[in-house]
Amino acid sequence: MNKIYDVYSLGNAIVDVQTSVNDDVIAKMRVEKGSMRFISELQLDQTIEIIKTMDSKKSCGGSAANSIIALAQMGGRGVFCNMVGGDEHGDIFCQDMQKFGVKFNYELVQGQRTSTCIVLITPDAERTMFTHLGASSCLSEEIVSEELIAKSKWVYIEGYMLSNPKGPAIINKMLDFAIKHNARTALSCSDIFIVDLFKDKIMALADKIDLVFGNKNEVKHLVGVDDDTEAFNAYKSKFRNVIMTLSAKGAKYVVDGEEGEAPGVRVKAVDTTGAGDMFAGAVLYGMTNGISLDRNVRIANFLAAQVVGQFGARLTEIPDYSHVK
């Protein structure tokens, strides 16, 4: 079948509500700064009440959604699948997907609120997140489209999906379709807490996953090694292909027998939200559009740095990266 899509992706369909706060707000909420936690609908309303007088920015988000939008902004063709509620945030998500030219393979769940993530950003650019899954928690295997996967070069899955009770079954169904239709497969570690809770499930997917994305802290937790070099060596021994990001220091990779390290790009950090998502989306664009691996990772580092240097999880537009060689 003709591969008309670059990437078919699965992730939570979340509307991000991004708000700048001072450290006192985080302290009063009695949470660890930089953490991410799932919250109930009541806790969501309580958190919204706390920030209601502060300036906030709303946009469709979620890790894989950000990555697939990045790919589309670069000129790629992507598909994103999940569920949204019949509410204002559901409308925001659908409109953003349409605006960026992403094919949105979704179901509308009446009586459920669209997944929402409150992102509190402190002056040091650290993000503390509170996520109510809402409609995304209703996800089932029926959302997976064999037809669209058959038309895609890659299948990309965010690790956050492992926290959904039905997530492993859905992921395995997608991977089986990908293998059947000769699509390559990728998984992001997503977050340290995902790695800590679902390490065994990530390892169980090793035979079906072609490429794993992880930052150095996620990788260290995944392999149980604290040294950067030793952690990377253990990481690459467990999966076919791997990329480990190193924040401002760049990224290390082993892909299809090619091993290397691409330098980072230093910027004044404003908000780290979405940097890893931008990186993954850019890498997947490069892999599906003929960019050499080393340049591909360098471009991804450059674009991720631009995200870190601004407020918000995504770039308004992709800057010229022709100078990145």
What is the predicted pLDDT for the residue at 318? 96
Tell whether 41 is covered by a domain: no
Residue 27 forms part of a structural domain? no
In a domain, 313, yes or no: no
Residue 56 lies in a domain: no
pLDDT at 287: 97
Contact criterion met (CB below 8 Å) for 151 and 120 = no
Q: What is the pLDDT of residue 34?
A: 85
DSSP characters over 134-198: GGGGG--GGG--HHHHHTEEEEEEEGGGGGSTTHHHHHHHHHHHHHHTT-EEEEE---HHHHHHH
Residue 191 lies in a domain: yes
Query: Pairing mode, if any, of strands 103-109 and 211-215?
Result: unpaired
- Domain that includes residue 81, residue range: 5-12+64-106+139-308
Model pLDDT, residue 313: 79
Two structure tokens written together for 180: 């059947």
In a domain, 298, yes or no: yes
Tokens standing for 123? 């002056």
Supply the CATH number for residue 291's domain. Answer: 3.40.1190.20
pLDDT of 273 reads 78
User: Tokens in use for 194?
Assistant: 């995902």
Q: Could you give the number of structural domains in the chain?
A: 1
In a domain, 300, yes or no: yes
- Domain presence at residue 157: yes
- Written as tens digits, the pLDDT of the chain (325 aa) is 799 999 999 999 999 999 999 999 998 888 889 888 889 999 999 999 999 999 888 888 899 999 999 999 999 999 999 999 999 999 999 999 999 999 999 999 989 999 999 999 999 888 899 999 999 999 999 999 999 999 999 999 999 999 998 999 999 999 999 999 999 999 999 999 999 999 999 999 999 999 999 999 999 999 999 999 999 999 999 999 999 999 889 999 999 999 999 999 989 888 887 899 999 999 999 999 999 999 999 999 999 999 999 977 789 999 999 999 8
